[in-house]
Amino acid sequence: SPQRGEGRVRGLTISLPGHFQVENAAVACLALQAAGVKVKEEVLRSALKGVSWPGRLQVISRKPLIIFDVSHNPPAIKTLVANLAGLYPGRKATFLFGVLEDKDYLPMLKYLGDYGVRFFFTRPYSNRAREPKELADSFRGVCRKKKSCRVILEPKDALLEAKKGLKNDELLCICGSFYLAPLLKCCHSSI
């Protein structure tokens, strides 16, 4: 139990963004309690406040606002979109998206299309990447409204193009694959 008595600790702060992270933290605390692991309250508070999880709603630039998220399946993309809407209300979203061939990409495109305004489809750094043109063609089929959609094969070029049109009230989210992580170096060196 993390605390004497009821086994509850109130007023915890978690450094990770997104409502699902609060749920994850609660499950972790309950798992510790169920396993009979005793953790001092100050240790628990410090651990939750200091935890970081690169690649999950990771802000890699504030001006312009650029977020990297490794979401690569429909439930994760759905959660990503919900968290972006909750964390950044009123901001229009541009997505730079690439995914591997074995992923269930059509529902992902629909979730992104329902939320975003501009889309850049690229090829993740993997020989198993799905062709960006196929993504764009499929996107046009699942997206209810006509939205700006471009295919740029090289991820670095897609990033540069996506950043060009960003306004202060907008955000850019890079998502769809762990294999887009090399773009983080581009963002840090060019922003």
Ordered alpha helix ranges (H), 68-122: 74-87, 105-115
pLDDT tens string 153-174: 999 999 999 999 898 889 999 9
What confidence score (pLDDT) does residue 4 get? 41
Taking a C-beta distance cutoff of 8 angstroms, is the pair 15, 52 a contact? yes
Distance of CA 145 to the CA centre of its chain: 23
pLDDT tens string, the chain, 191 residues long: the values are 344 444 566 666 655 555 656 666 666 666 777 777 787 777 667 666 655 555 578 999 888 999 999 999 999 999 999 999 999 999 999 999 999 999 999 999 999 999 999 999 999 999 999 999 999 999 999 987 888 899 999 999 999 999 998 988 899 999 999 889 988 876 654 43
The Cα 166–Cα 87 span in angstroms is 18
Assess contact for 80 and 57: CB atoms under 8 A: yes
Whole-angstrom distance, CA of residue 12 vs CA of residue 7: 13
The two structure tokens encoding residue 55: 């690649």
SS (H, E, C) 110-168: HHHHHHCCEEEECCCCCCCECCHHHHHHHHHHHCCCCCEEEECCCHHHHHHHHHHCCCC
The answer, as to whether pTM is greater than 0.75, is yes
Q: Rounded distance, CA 161 to CA 156, Å?
A: 9
Task: Give pLDDT, residue 15.
Answer: 54
Residues 6+ apart with CB under 8 A from 39: 2, 32
Whether the CB-CB separation of 33 and 2 falls below 8 Å is answered with yes
In this prediction, residue 144 carries a pLDDT of 74
Sheet containing strand 170-175, edge to edge, reads 58-62, 65-69, 170-175, 92-97, 118-121, 148-151
